[in-house]
Chain A
Amino acid sequence: MTSTDYILLAIAAALVAYSAFRSGPKTKKALRIALKQFVNVLPFFAAVFAMIGLFEVMLTPDQIQGWLGSGQGLLAPIYAAVFGGLATGPPAAVFPLGQYLLSQHASVAAVATLLIAWVAVGTITLPAEIRFFGARFALSRWALALTLSIVLGLVMGWVL
């Protein structure tokens, strides 16, 4: 538990308290909805996290480095988008990796793409997105985000 967690829980508790103060029955209804939805998606969430763990182990930063380390030309941003989109590590982990890659003569475009795709694409959460919003929405957004991360990466490589 971090301090952010305590703040979040405090906010939730304060909201519930205020809601209960305003109307008891409405609050009860709200909590029933919350519990029902939580229990409904719990198995799915458990599976998502189990999958995230598996990916973190199987797809290491070392492997990503091997693909992007030295001049791969125009292909590098595309690899970067695919890897960035698949990877699931914490955002704090990708920044040092990106800097290392730059020092290994990876292109700015590739590194920028990696940094953007890492947070913007979300291949691992795709099943969850499909479950909540349907396949059409999730797949369209995924494909668009992947394309956009390459475009933005190239823009950054061009500007800088």
Chain B
Amino acid sequence: MKKLARWSKANWLVWAVALAYIAVAVTRPSAAGRGALLGLQTFGELAATLVTVFVIVGLFQVWVSDEFVMKHLGESSGLKGLALGAGLGTIIHGPLVGVFPLLKALLAKGARTGVVVAIVSTWAIKLPMIPLELRLFGWRFTLLREGLLFLSAFIMAPLMELILGGDWGTRFRDTIEQE
């Protein structure tokens, strides 16, 4: 019973979604069915990504040293660290939830808060989508939007560090160690 309570605290969303589905199923049964199917489909599309991400998380934790992460992405990595994060976020694709575990591992190894924020911010840039955007909106719109999205990493990162406070990363690492 105690175990279930603890599990529910971490996985409260499971209960919330189950309730939402029950509510929708009562009022609009077909919508609930379609939603479940769509969700399953998204999950299926992502399954390979998830497997890869977790394998990389495991390898990352065993092979990459804390010193390495701290040196290149840590508190003293400055603008170079942010730029590295922004570049990384531009390249990675697929749903963001999939890379959350990896970002958490990065933080745990001593990466700076801003670097993780930069990755999340430029994740919004979808390189494969640029041709589509070009065709529909023209190059001025596309270049401006993608450029602003890239810049947003350098706006979001310092702002987040300001809001969370300089020692947020350290405290976050402490809570992970307690888990």
Chain A contacts to B: CB under 8 angstroms: 1-2, 5-6, 8-9, 11-12, 15-16, 19, 26-27, 29-35, 37-38, 41, 43-58, 91-92, 95-96, 98-99, 102, 108, 112, 115-116, 119-120, 122, 125, 127-129, 131-134, 136-137, 140-141, 144-145, 148, 152, 155-156, 159-160
Docked-complex contact B51 and A12, CB < 8 angstroms: yes
Question: Shortest Cβ distance from B10 into chain A, in angstroms?
Answer: 7
Docked-complex contact B61 and A53, CB < 8 angstroms: no
B4 located at the interface, meaning its Cβ lies under 8 Å from any Cβ of chain A in the complex: no
Identity of the chain A residue whose Cβ is nearest the Cβ of B122 in the assembled complex: A120
In the complex, A31 Cα to B63 Cα: how many Å?
A: 12
Q: Which residues of A lie under 8 Å from residue B126 when comparing CB positions? A: 91, 119
In the complex, A34 Cα to B102 Cα: how many Å?
A: 11
Identity of the chain A residue whose Cβ is nearest the Cβ of B59 in the assembled complex: A30
- Which of A52, A120, A133 is B172 in contact with, Cβ under 8 Å? A133
In the complex, A34 Cα to B163 Cα: how many Å?
A: 32
Docked-complex contact A152 and B148, CB < 8 angstroms: yes
In the complex, A28 Cα to B34 Cα: how many Å?
A: 40
Total residue contacts A-B, CB cutoff 8 A: 210
Q: Give the interface segment out of B66-74, B80-88, B131-139.
A: B131-139
Interface residues on B, range: 35 or more
Q: Top 9 A-B pairs ranked by shortest CB distance?
A: A53-B39, A34-B58, A53-B38, A5-B48, A30-B58, A54-B35, A119-B124, A53-B35, A33-B58
In the complex, A30 Cα to B59 Cα: how many Å?
A: 5
Q: Is the interface of B mostly helix, strand, loop or mixed?
A: helix
Docked-complex contact A1 and B48, CB < 8 angstroms: yes
Which of A32, A54, A56, A132 has the most CB atoms of chain B within a 10 A radius of its CB?
A54
Docked-complex contact B97 and A125, CB < 8 angstroms: yes
Whether A12 touches B152, Cβ cut-off 8 Å, given contacts A95-B133, A132-B104, is: no
- Which of A43, A49, A108 is B39 in contact with, Cβ under 8 Å? A49
Identity of the chain B residue whose Cβ is nearest the Cβ of A128 in the assembled complex: B97
Chain B contacts to A: CB under 8 angstroms: 10-11, 13-14, 16-18, 20-21, 24, 31-32, 34-43, 45-46, 48-52, 54-59, 61-63, 95-97, 100-101, 103-104, 107, 113, 117, 120-121, 123-124, 126, 129, 132-133, 136-137, 140-141, 144-145, 148-149, 152, 155-156, 159-160, 163-164, 168, 172, 175
Docked-complex contact A136 and B149, CB < 8 angstroms: no
In the complex, A34 Cα to B105 Cα: how many Å?
A: 11
Question: Shortest Cβ distance from A155 into chain B, in angstroms?
Answer: 7
- Which of B46, B52, B96 is A125 in contact with, Cβ under 8 Å? B96
Docked-complex contact A15 and B56, CB < 8 angstroms: yes
Q: Which residues of A lie under 8 Å from residue B42 when comparing CB positions? A: 49, 52-53
Docked-complex contact A144 and B59, CB < 8 angstroms: no
Q: Which residues of B lie under 8 Å from residue A96 when comparing CB positions? A: 136
- Which of B32, B58, B148, B160 is A156 in contact with, Cβ under 8 Å? B148
